[in-house]
Amino acid sequence: MSKVPLEFSEIIASKRKNPDGKHDPSFYEAFVPAGDITKLATKDAVIVELSKEGMSKELEETAEKVVADAPKVFLTLVCTGGHSFIRVLTHPLNDKKLFDHEIQATTKVYGKFNGEWDRDSRIPSRLMHRDGKPVMTFSEHDHFYIKHWIFQAPVFESDNTELMYDFHWLQPLPYLVPKKTLVINSGFSTVRKTLIHPDHYKFETSYHWPSSPEGMNVAVKTLRANTNKESGTDTEKFYEIEAETLKKMGALNDAHLIRSVAIYKRGTERCFVFPWAEGGNLDDFWYNYKDKRDDDLIRWAINQMLGLFGGLDKLHEENIRHGDVKPPNILHFPNSSSQLGQLVLADVGLAKFHTDYTKDRQKITSTKHSTEDYEPPEPLNEKISRYYDNWSIGCVFIEFLIWIKSGYDELCNFRRALEYDDQKRKRFWQRKDRKRFWQLKFGKERNAFVHPEVDKWVEKLRWSKYPIVYDLADLVRKNMLVPDPNQRRTLNNGLLYKFKEICATLALNEGKLSPENPSKAGHVAGGHADLDPKPEAESSTQSFTRNASNLYAAGDRQLTKQIINRIGWSFHCPPTRDTNLCQVCRIMDFEQPEWELGRNVDELKGSATSCALCQFFFNCLSNSLDERKPITLYRDDASFSLRLSPYGRSLITIYSDPNSKSENQPYSSPGLPRLPIIGSSNQYQLFNEWIKTCDNNHDCFPKAGTIRKHDSALPTRLLNVGSDQIRLEEPRKLAQQKYVALSHRWGDRSTHSQFCTYDSNIERFRTNIPFTSMPKTFQDAVKVTRAIGVQYLWIDSLCIIQGNADDWETESSRMEDVFSSAYCVIAATSAASSLEGFLNYRQPRPCVTVQAKEGPLHLAKAIDNFQDDVEHGLLNTRGWVLQERVLARRTIHFTSTQVYWECGQGVHCETLAQLHNTQSQFLGDSNFPHSSLEYYKDERIRLVQHLYEFYSTLDLTNESDRSKAILGIETRLARFFKSRSHYGIFEKSFHRMLLWQAKSPGGLAAIPQPKEPSKRTPSWSWMSRTGKIQFMDIPFGSATWLEILPGPISSDNIDITTIHAEAHGLLSEDIESMGDVVLDSEDCHYNRKTWKCVKLGHKKLDDLVVAAEHYYILLIRPISDMCPGSYERVGAGRIKHSDLSPEKPISVEIS
């Protein structure tokens, strides 16, 4: 077959250009798409052109090289013609050398190529000559240079992590005219809706930018050139500031912050490219969805508000102020991961520019009035702070909540009530004779107050159908719409946490909004509650899994001072070092909310050798500092601490003298700057103070005589440590004796022997267990048990006969009683093995005393971190430890940093700080689960599911212990709910709890099962797998469950391992096309002929729908050809009715 030469007309046909001449030709320029370049510059086409000029040697090799390295050069030659292909294509000029550099315009020739200029001709000498012979003439070069630009349209790609480009002014951009064009002109920029050719963007799927085969719709913002200093603007500086801001925002990777597609210079143009928001802005959203305000949309809206505030908080963490938060700058992207999509905060660069220049924008923008609507009442000449943003987004949230409650028309009425001039400008404030969101009163001082119309509407929101709406409005009004910027700054501390706490009321409710009448909500009575709540009885709850990190200080100052007086203050008080301070530290005002140290980390390190306070600061801050920036510490009064930013973590704790008056220094708290020596009498006295306080004031531990209803609640064996001679006893006749239980890690059994009780040494241990023969962790547990005045100690490896299967089976099933009946539990949190111990030396805590105006302040490195020290500690990664902690009434956690006391009333630190949070309240419930489930009310089954999901993330040495290591918790829950439960499935919520899935598809593995049927864990239980699980998210009251009788957990069924059900055939050829189905393991290979599914339920039908469209199902497969009718579970999910075979279902047994 003969090769056909490439025609110039083919290249012209491939050019993309403005099709009708109506649109800006400088914006929509001709270019050949990258994909067409590949199609045109083929090997055959190159061979034809080279052959025409007589080239025969190395023809194939040269053609391949041209296609690989110089297709644009080749196509440019086709366009220009009139000179030798051989001379150019065998020249070392390729596409990269052609354009991978800066090309500058000249008078004679339009640019320069890579290489030195010829002095006379101004043509690159490497291109002008080859072996002393010219490669191109002047005219050829000029023609070549003009034509090559159509092949140089860039490709925007995520490999360019900063998404920044510097283009030549003649380089065309890959823009196409969209179906619907839009151009918006403002005083400082022009924004165009345009389309990027699909060949010219390559982004990771994580970017979630909507696109189509026609291309990706984008908004291109072009800054207008303006260097007029009187206008307060400078285009180049504006571009640099906005570009830097957008780079930082992109690095935050927050779904609610705008992310640029590209940032580029082209000649004098300065442009920013953003994904096009098809849903418009927030004002458009309110109008477009004014008649669609159902529960799902309102739930989405509340979560979006939280997301926007969280995104703004991330900006503030990076010291970026927005300064222009308003509905037009909040964009709606409906094509993201959910049907409604995301609301995204945009135009941050413009706002940053405003803060860095002036607020006098009348000269350069026609939209100033729309921005003023949401401005706070700060004086116009003050610098804009991050708290400025809190006011603005608070205004937006009030409008959002009014829209949620009363709709679009009432929102418009509210806005009209705030208008203060004929141009319909509004504010949340007003002067004496004008209407705004706030008002001004003039006297000796300038005082502002929120517009009365705002308070009127907040009060209206009190009667919203959904209590969460008023809760949010009240939070916004009291913490964000505060005219005094200093007070707004103080109230900002912990504001995001409060916002999350309120929004978390949707969490365990599976997104359901709270009822109109909260009194309808159910409650726990008589220790019994239904697992599945009625929809109308759902109430506000908070998810313990979503608030794990939100521990907050809630101290009792009087109690703290009493403890200090009893254990002594003198040892725990750091010395005063006034005589050893540098000049900067001597004049520092410690009463101020911001401490400006005036030095960076290197300078601080240099002065640390001669100044005690500088040394203290360096010790506390050096790991968290930017070496170049001067240090400023921000005081957080809520946590009595200093931070490197108002939103950062606490780095220094501020303590007051226990004898001082707290009202004089409310930003400090009494406590222990210096910790007691580990294992000292002072430390033991502190433990006893904790216990005494709990015994006298809390209900965490039953009073004497009520601790146990039967002797079997006492462990079979205990260690008697009340005398020097430790021995193993079986104290059944001592049922009222107090004992302590040890929670610890055994350690790697392959590297060292374990100190255990065996059948071979139990008689000897009943007589004496030498203290010195015990591993250090056991020795330390004995010391602490004796120090708190308790005679008996339970240690699993000594109180359970190891290697005795019968004893292990009996004792492991009684863990609920062992830990819940213990007087308290000692948790060796910091010990990796029984050899390490936990009463070990710890580095002294950096601390110092400084003299403030109101008295001494004691500064110490912040170490109160229960989440990292305990929740994420090594011990609490073990599966067995979860139930040890949950079932314990009180626990003393020994970490490498400090000791924590945990009981039903919260967490006490060795520093004497007191902490509370939702997860610690749940896991530390001294009467689990009564107190927690009273708090969580009707979301009890979701709480249980969250607990099981959390448990599935923990480690077990023996995976076969998956069902045993949580048996105590399961037994307790089953008794509380009065529901039979086996293998992690409750009878009263049987269908819902069968619908567990692998957290990551295929991420589970089967646990080898014993041969005895009675000891096997059935495949329909998540306990038969290793790996992380999650339960399907099915709103309560939304499903109709199908009957499976008798259920394996039913009291009518003796066989608790087998489900008897009707199984349906499948029509889908593969899992991907089946729907929302998740396979348990990677080794599950779908077989349409043999796999079946069991229908568990479907969405409730209304009067107009007579048949279910989707079913909740278990996916099953035959166990083996030898056992017909016997199946095992391989997955779960939701499938379409059309995926089910019309054939008659068969009866199966799932085990």
3-class secondary structure per residue, 231-247: HCCCHHHHHHHHHHHHH
Q: Report how far residue 191's alpha carbon sits from residue 329's, in angstroms, rounded to the nearest whole number.
A: 13
pLDDT value of residue 523: 29
pLDDT less than 50: residues of the chain: 1-2, 99-128, 205-207, 227, 229-232, 349-370, 381, 431-436, 440-446, 507-511, 514-530, 532-552, 554, 705-712, 935, 937-938
Show Cβ contacts of residue 286 under 8 Å, excluding neighbours closer than 6 positions: 327, 403, 408, 411
Largest CA distance in the chain: 112
Q: pTM score > 0.75 for this model?
A: no
pLDDT value of residue 442: 38
pLDDT value of residue 464: 74
CB 1010 within 8 A of CB 989: no
The sign one gets for the Cα dihedral 287, 288, 293, 296 is negative
- What is the total residue count of the chain? 1151
β-bridge mates for residue 430, sequence order: 439
Show Cβ contacts of residue 1093 under 8 Å, excluding neighbours closer than 6 positions: 1063, 1064, 1066, 1111, 1113, 1114, 1115, 1116, 1135, 1140
* Beta strands in 365-500, from DSSP E residues, in sequence order: 429-430, 438-442, 446-450
- Name the token pair of 278: 């098809």
Q: How many CB atoms lie within 10 A of CB 38?
A: 12
Q: Report how far residue 195's alpha carbon sits from residue 276's, in angstroms, rounded to the nearest whole number.
A: 9
Q: Report how far residue 836's alpha carbon sits from residue 744's, in angstroms, rounded to the nearest whole number.
A: 11
pLDDT value of residue 1029: 93
Q: How many CB atoms lie within 10 A of CB 528?
A: 11
Per-residue model confidence as pLDDT tens digits over 948-1007 = 999 999 999 889 899 889 988 888 888 888 888 889 988 888 899 999 999 888 889 999
Q: Report how far residue 616's alpha carbon sits from residue 574's, in angstroms, rounded to the nearest whole number.
A: 12
Q: Which residue in the block uniquely carries the two structure tokens 């033991």?
A: 684
Question: What's the DSSP call for residue 162?
Answer: T
Q: Which residue in the block uniquely carries the two structure tokens 């350069």?
A: 364
SS3 category, 973? helix
Give CA separation, 253 vs 250, 257, 342, 988, 1033, in Å.
5, 8, 14, 42, 26
Per-residue model confidence as pLDDT tens digits over 168-199 = 888 999 999 888 888 888 767 888 999 999 99
Q: In this structure, what is the dihedral angle of CA atoms 326, 327, 328, 334, given to the nearest 10 degrees?
A: 140
- Name the token pair of 217: 């719709």
3-class secondary structure per residue, 12-68: HHHCECCCCCCCCCCCCCCECCHHHHHHHCCHHHHHHHHHHCCCCCCHHHHHHHHHH
Give CA separation, 447 vs 435, 442, 484, 811, in Å.
16, 7, 8, 70
pLDDT value of residue 1044: 73
Question: What's the DSSP call for residue 266?
Answer: E
pLDDT value of residue 502: 83
Span between the terminal Cα atoms of the chain, in Å: 66
Q: In this structure, what is the dihedral angle of CA atoms 1079, 1083, 1087, 1088, given to the nearest 10 degrees?
A: 0
pLDDT value of residue 1095: 94
Nearest to 601 by CA among 614, 582, 584, 586: 614
- Name the token pair of 718: 């205990």
- Name the token pair of 5: 């030469």
Nearest to 855 by CA among 665, 643, 1054, 593: 665
Q: Report how far residue 310's alpha carbon sits from residue 322's, in angstroms, rounded to the nearest whole number.
A: 13
Q: Report how far residue 1096's alpha carbon sits from residue 1131's, in angstroms, rounded to the nearest whole number.
A: 13
Show Cβ contacts of residue 878 under 8 Å, excluding neighbours closer than 6 positions: 745, 954, 955, 956
SS3 category, 307? helix
Show Cβ contacts of residue 57 under 8 Å, excluding neighbours closer than 6 positions: none
Beta strand 156-157 pairing with 201-202: parallel
CB 1134 within 8 A of CB 1110: yes
Q: How many CB atoms lie within 10 A of CB 539?
A: 22
pLDDT value of residue 367: 32
pLDDT value of residue 814: 83
Q: In this structure, what is the dihedral angle of CA atoms 893, 896, 897, 900, given to the nearest 10 degrees?
A: 0
Write 849-852 long-range contacts (CB < 8 A, 24+). 849/573, 849/574, 849/575, 849/576, 849/577, 849/673, 850/576, 850/577, 850/578, 850/588, 850/590, 850/613, 851/576, 851/578, 851/590, 852/590, 852/591, 852/665
CA angle 783, 788, 791 (to 5 degrees): 75
- CB burial string 578-592: b at 16+ within 10 A, e below: eeebbebbeebebee
Percent helix, strand, coil in the chain, to 5, is 35, 20, 45
pLDDT value of residue 74: 84
SS3 category, 700? coil
Q: Report how far residue 512's alpha carbon sits from residue 1030's, in angstroms, rounded to the nearest whole number.
A: 19
The amino acid at residue 376 is P
905 CB-contact burial (10 Å; exposed 0-12 / middle 13-18 / buried 19+): buried
Q: Report how far residue 410's alpha carbon sits from residue 432's, in angstroms, rounded to the nearest whole number.
A: 25
What is the DSSP secondary-structure string of 1021-1076? SGGGEES-EEE----TTSEEEPP-SS-TTSTT-S-SS-EEEEEE-B--SSSTTTEE
CA angle 846, 852, 854 (to 5 degrees): 130
pLDDT value of residue 432: 41
Nearest to 176 by CA among 221, 216, 223: 216
* H/E stretch holding 221: strand 216-223
What is the DSSP secondary-structure string of 510-565? TTPPPPSSGGGS---BTTB--SS--GGG------TTTTTT--EE---HHHHHHHHH
Q: In this structure, what is the dihedral angle of CA atoms 79, 82, 86, 92, given to the nearest 10 degrees?
A: -60
pLDDT value of residue 797: 93
Q: Which residue in the block uniquely carries the two structure tokens 């241990």?
A: 765
- Name the token pair of 70: 């110089």
- List strands edge to edge, sheet with 824-827: 552-553, 914-916, 906-909, 899-903, 891-894, 824-827, 739-743, 792-794, 718-720, 727-729
pLDDT value of residue 1107: 66
Per-residue model confidence as pLDDT tens digits over 1075-1092 = 678 899 988 889 999 999
* Beta strands in 621-708, from DSSP E residues, in sequence order: 632-636, 641-643, 652-656
SS3 category, 327? helix
